Chains A and B, each alone.
Chain A
Amino acid sequence: MSESARSFFFAVALCVVCSVLLTAASTGLQRRQEHNMRLEKQRNVLKAVGLIVAGKPLVESQIEKLYKEKIKTFWVTPEGELVDAKKHAGTDLPLYVRLEDRTIHTYAVPVESDGLWGKIYGYLALENDGATVAGFTVFQHSETPGLGGEIEKEWFQKEWIGKKIVDKDGNFISIRIARGEAGEAVPERMRPHTVDGISGATLTGRYLTAGIRETLESYEPVSIRFRKNMIGVP
């Protein structure tokens, strides 16, 4: 056998062995990984609506129990009405609601935004006035660790709490991530709608700002109903 044919067959054999190993590992571990992922999402919803406080981590069973007790998933029609999870249509959007005494305390919307290197997935929670941010979390992203990756850190996320997505007259503004620290450079009237950016991650901030705006716009019908106090639990 010639030298190049030998190399070729060796490479093919190696590829087959490696792919079999990787496929076996990935299928074998898939169920556990999906379980971890689901738990991480639940943890993030709970954190966004303010049920998990930083520095007090919960164990698996606590998260599942708390989620079952307090969080209910509804779907939002294009008109902004809530429907039960069982009878939603294809165009409806999911909404995670924190219930306290059968009334809505906060609601979280899933955020799926572009990032610099890949998609950013997280949750943005709003209070039942439909205007004030209750929390923001990120559970999956591929931003650079130490730069854009800081979006998953506490210091960045706690800035979001209390910001307003509408101005005093009720016009929709969304939330903007500043270039670096917000501070004096941001005009007075924009400050309630601006959070500190991450230095070295201007692009991540820009992408996330656009993603948040897009998400909030699509949820505006239901947020308007919350602002007008026209919402009821189905």
Chain B
Amino acid sequence: MTPAPVQALRKSRSYKAVARALWEANPISKQILGICSALAVTVQLKTALVMSIALTFVVAFSSLIISLMRRAMPRNIRIMVEVSVIATLVILADEFLRAFMYDVSRQLSVFVGLIITNCIVLGRAEGYALSNPPCKSFVDGLANGIGYGSVLMGVAFLRELLGSGKLFGYPVIPAFFYEAGYLDNGLMRLAPGAFIIIGLFVWLEHTLLSRKKGR
């Protein structure tokens, strides 16, 4: 039996919205958005984590700001306004990384800047923030960012473990494995490896979801 408060929480609308973003309509594994960056930054957990945080920051605050402006915003220049807000936030994140996490920012190269074109961000602005109050939009942005980040981290975990035998840069595969002839999987260090893993994630999620629905 699930305790009563948890059941009540599960019925609330914000819980449903967050659960949707994290699982049922996960940006990567369900909506298949943001695949390009998911392939590029998931060789290591460190870069994937920084990228996830940067994207979560951008999508949460762009949703908040756009939602705050939604009544004042002239409809005919809507998309331009949204993109300006997103671009400003992305440049801020990029400048910040360059100043305080230089080596990670070098590894991420253009992919931080490319958050501007990430469909998740504009998608949430258009699809949610324009028609919902600021608080809810912020939470929606946060949940979508985390939904994106969780898949990124999952892919990066497998890729770094299988491709380099490390996690967050620390070797985790014992030396005697290598002595016994174990080899790191080079495919996992290349983009096609990420394709395969993301494909498996998509398969897993679709299977679990359809089983839940009894289909």
Listed in ascending order, the chain A residues whose CB lies under 8 Å from chain B are: 3-4, 6-7, 10-11, 14-15, 18, 21-22, 25-26, 29, 32-33, 36, 39-40, 142, 145-146, 149
Question: Which partner residue on chain B sits nearest A34 by CB separation?
Answer: B99
Chain A residues, CB < 8 A from B74: 3, 6-7, 10
Question: Which partner residue on chain B sits nearest A37 by CB separation?
Answer: B102
- B95→A29 contact, CB < 8 A: yes
Give the bracket for the number of chain B residues in contact with chain A. 20 to 34
- B77→A11 contact, CB < 8 A: yes
| Contact A7 B77, CB 8 Å, known A18-B88, A22-B88 | yes
Query: How far does the alpha carbon of A3 sit from the alpha carbon of B76 in the complex, in Å?
Result: 9
- Majority secondary structure of chain A interface residues (helix, strand, loop or mixed): helix
Chain A residues, CB < 8 A from B110: 142, 145
Additional A-B contacts beyond A33-B99, A40-B106 (16; CB < 8 A):
A3-B74, A6-B74, A10-B72, A10-B73, A14-B81, A18-B85, A21-B88, A21-B92, A25-B91, A26-B95, A32-B99, A33-B95, A39-B102, A145-B110, A145-B111, A149-B109
Judged by a CB distance under 8 angstroms, whether B100 is at the interface is yes
Judged by a CB distance under 8 angstroms, whether B10 is at the interface is no
- A18→B95 contact, CB < 8 A: no
Q: List 18 A-B contacts (CB under 8 A).
A: A3-B76, A4-B76, A10-B73, A10-B74, A11-B77, A14-B85, A18-B88, A22-B92, A25-B91, A29-B98, A33-B98, A33-B102, A36-B102, A40-B106, A145-B109, A145-B110, A146-B191, A149-B109
Query: How far does the alpha carbon of A109 sit from the alpha carbon of B111 in the complex, in Å?
Result: 30
- A10→B98 contact, CB < 8 A: no
Partner of A29, one of B81, B84, B99: B99
- A25→B81 contact, CB < 8 A: no
Chain A residues, CB < 8 A from B73: 10
